[in-house]
Amino acid sequence: MLRRKNTDFICWPSRGGINRGKTVPRGDRVLMNAFKEISQIADRLHLPKTVVDRANNLFKTIHDGKKLRGRSTDAISSACLSCLCMATRQEGVPQTFREVCAVSQASRREIGRAFRLLPEALDISAEAATSCDFMSRFCSNLGLPNSVRKAATAIAKTAEDLYMVSGRLPMSVAAGAIYMASQASEFKRSRREIGDVAGVGEETVRQVYKRMYSQAVKLFPKDFVFFTPQ
């Protein structure tokens, strides 16, 4: 008995108008669809081509290692997006799971689950993002000046060094630090505004801020000019 290869059948138009069949192996189709999805999501997030190329290479490594054999379409899609998240970290432009979810059909849980499997599947270490990695983008989206960004960066770093925010995600720490810095300046932003930009809840911003507040005097840089209403 002859066994049919695992292929998909695609018809390409010929010069004479007659369709000629060309078989495309399923593995190649998976890669083509994955690369297309990665590119589309990257475009929506305005990410550079270097991120797309790295994400494609990460996904191809997983695919070639047969780590996705037998997985559902949704699982493969989540793997695409988790590779994109990993690539943004490795290229120095980290995106939160929430930001990726906002422009895709996957949930944070699905992407997060796939992301946690990447280090083992790729035999690499997951390069953890820090609060400082998000600071410039968050402050820019909030319309905050460089003085507030610098203060928030210093606050977050010192709080992390003093283990004041242990167990908190980097974007949560960044959000709390931005709230503290903005409240001490004339460019105040609400917890809700900051939470929306950082992709965290308003209550999370409050809790992180509360942890920092008791030692605020240690956190602000010495050259920071506190705003005093006239």
Q: Given this model, what pLDDT does residue 26 score?
A: 58
**Position 90 confidence tier, pLDDT thresholds 50, 70, 90:** confident
108-122 and 49-64 helices, crossing angle to 10°:
70
Mean pLDDT of 144-153: 96
Asked if residue 14 has pLDDT above 60, the reply is: no
Q: How far apart are CA 213 and CA 19, in angstroms?
A: 70
Which residues have C-beta within 8 Å of that of residue 181, sequence separation ≥ 6?
Answer: 148, 149, 151, 152, 155, 220, 224
Which residues have C-beta within 8 Å of that of residue 106, sequence separation ≥ 6?
Answer: 74, 77, 78, 81, 100
Q: Which amino acid is at 91?
A: E
Q: How far apart are CA 110 and CA 139, in angstroms?
A: 28
State the sign of the Cα–Cα–Cα–Cα dihedral 173, 179, 184, 187: positive
Q: Given this model, what pLDDT does residue 124 score?
A: 63
Q: Which of 36-40, 132-136, 192-196 has the lowest mean pLDDT?
A: 132-136
Give the tens place of pLDDT for each residue, 95-139: 888 888 889 888 888 888 888 788 777 776 655 678 888 899 899
Asked if residue 56 has pLDDT above 90, the reply is: yes
Q: Given this model, what pLDDT does residue 187 score?
A: 96
Q: Are 208 and 170 in contact (CB under 8 A)?
A: no
Q: E strand or H helix at 13, and its extent?
A: strand 7-13
- Indicate the fold that domain 131-219 takes in CATH: Cyclin A; domain 1 (1.10.472)
Per CATH, 7-122 and 131-219 having the same topology is answered yes
Render the burial of 21-36: b for 16+ CB within 10 Å, e for the rest.
eeeeeeeeebbeebbe
State whether residue 20 is helix, strand or coil.
Answer: strand
Q: How far apart are CA 140 and CA 174, in angstroms?
A: 13
Q: Which of 13-27, 63-77, 177-191, 202-216 has the lowest mean pLDDT?
A: 13-27
Could you tell me which residue, 70 or 31, shows the higher pLDDT?
31
Architecture of the domain delimited by 7-122: Orthogonal Bundle (1.10)
Q: Given this model, what pLDDT does residue 125 score?
A: 60
Q: How far apart are CA 56 and CA 58, in angstroms?
A: 5
Where are the chain's structural domains? 7-122, 131-219
When the pLDDT of each residue in the chain is averaged and rounded to a whole number, the result is 84
Q: How far apart are CA 166 and CA 162, in angstroms?
A: 9
Give the tens place of pLDDT for each residue, 202-213: 999 999 999 999
